[in-house]
Chains A and B, each alone.
Chain A
């Protein structure tokens, strides 16, 4: 539980940044965000959980070496559901990198076991 003040301020700033788009007071047009989250306590809780997940994911991205701007842009383009699949798991989920050499190995093994035995 080592939450430094800087870390805390970071989180607050991040939440403030994420909140910004929701605060535009547009006449009395009802948005689809309002429609999908009817005004219940559960919806409020979800909003808070989603914001915290975003903040956590942003911190995680930064902890693996991404800069702040790039991180915020990335997370901004994600849906709440996508963010939840990442929060706390950035080092555990699959990342696609290389793999062609191994594919050749797969072909070889399947060929070997299927046809040579």
Chain B
């Protein structure tokens, strides 16, 4: 494996996240236990028992990876799948984020899938520190961990509160993680996630549109307007931004400016020209009414 001679640059030699809680697993329920470990660490108020109905599959005596990724979203947490690299695992832990991993602890032909939480590592000793099953602090040599982890194609995920971004997150993958969370999460959590995202990647068009729409849906027109104005600076030719800004401005009775914006949008071609024309008609109707 090479970690012995190629330790990733900038990563401390020893890290142990002692604040990561421990939930000894019941029966086959390492999935709920592992998920509760990282979710509680991120600030969710839950127990493994709360999660059993959401991630445990009694007929198969275990938990699916997809359920592990999906369940945190319901608690307003962003679940982020790591790139399949040892480096990324270590970087997340070093940044203070415990990582859920899927291991196959069996030896051919026995298959034993198991979720554990990496809560630290010790480079001089060559060990990873896991919360695993009924062990609160299981020290596993790098080589053995690699052997068991490889078989899941190095599957690993973190669950972070919406005001934090994983250390190894990339712009597109993390945006996808937030969009996925927005399906079911509380609107405040989603808004916070997009706001945090835009602080890191301010000129991301999709995130700007999404955040503005969330503000708009809850009637926060001023906030929606501010986000869209910022987006219009970065993307002056976006029909979507101009259309949505025109709508938002028009809703605040500023019809002249709305009309100017939508006319700018209509100078561009694209799949949303029809919507923009509808917006223009609506603005003209509102203008006629107010006279």
List residues of chain A with CB under 8 Å of any chain B CB.
Answer: 26-32, 34-36, 38-39, 64-66, 70, 73-74, 76-79, 82-83, 85-86, 90-91, 93-100, 102-103, 105-107, 109-110
Contacts of A64 in B (CB 8 A): 57, 59-60
A93 and B88 alpha carbons, distance in the complex (Å): 24
B240 touches A30 (CB 8 A): yes
Residues 132-152 of chain B: 1 if any A CB is under 8 Å from the residue's CB, otherwise 0? 111100001101100110001
Contacts of B73 in A (CB 8 A): 77
Chain A residues in 8 Å Cβ range of B34: 96
New contact pairs (8) apart from A97-B30, A97-B63, CB-CB < 8 Å:
A28-B247, A32-B209, A39-B271, A74-B67, A77-B183, A102-B106, A103-B114, A107-B140
Residues of A contacting B244 in the complex (Cβ-Cβ under 8 angstroms): 29-30
Residues of B within 8 A of A79 (CB): 176, 179-180, 183
Q: Is the CB of A96 within 8 A of B184?
A: no
State the Cβ distance, B22 to closest chain A Cβ, in Å.
14
In chain B, residues 49-66, which have Cβ atoms closer than 8 Å to a Cβ of chain A?
53-54, 57-66
User: What is the minimal beta-carbon distance from B289 to any residue of chain A, in angstroms?
Assistant: 16
Within 8 A of A (CB), among B11-67: 25, 27-31, 34, 53-54, 57-67
Known: A30-B240, A64-B57, A98-B133. A77 touches B113 (CB 8 A): no
Q: B71 within 8 Å of A by Cβ?
A: yes
Residues B53 and A70 in contact, CB atoms below 8 Å apart: yes
Closest to B101 in A: A96
Asked whether A98 lies within 8 Å of B59 as measured between CB atoms, the reply is no
| Interface residue? B200 (CB, 8 A) | no
A30-B275, A97-B62, A99-B113 given; A77·B70 CB < 8 A: yes
Q: Is B278 an interface residue (CB 8 A)?
A: yes
- CB B49 to nearest CB in A, in angstroms, measures 14
Interchain CB contact under 8 A, B152 and A31? no
In the assembled complex, the Cα of A65 lies from the Cα of B206 at a distance in Å of: 39
Nearest chain B CB to A105's CB is how many angstroms away? 6
Cross-chain contact A95 with B184 (CB below 8 angstroms): no
Cβ-defined contact, B206 with A35, below 8 A:
yes
> Is B164 part of the contact surface with A, judged by Cβ < 8 Å?
no
A-B contact pairs, 19 of them (CB 8 A): A27-B282, A29-B213, A30-B243, A32-B213, A35-B209, A73-B54, A73-B74, A74-B71, A90-B64, A91-B60, A96-B63, A96-B102, A96-B115, A97-B112, A99-B104, A102-B107, A103-B114, A103-B144, A110-B144
Residue in chain B with minimal CB distance to A27: B247
Name the contact of B133 in the complex, choosing from A38, A82, A100 (C-beta under 8 A).
Answer: A100
**Closest beta carbon of chain A to B237's beta carbon, Å:** 14
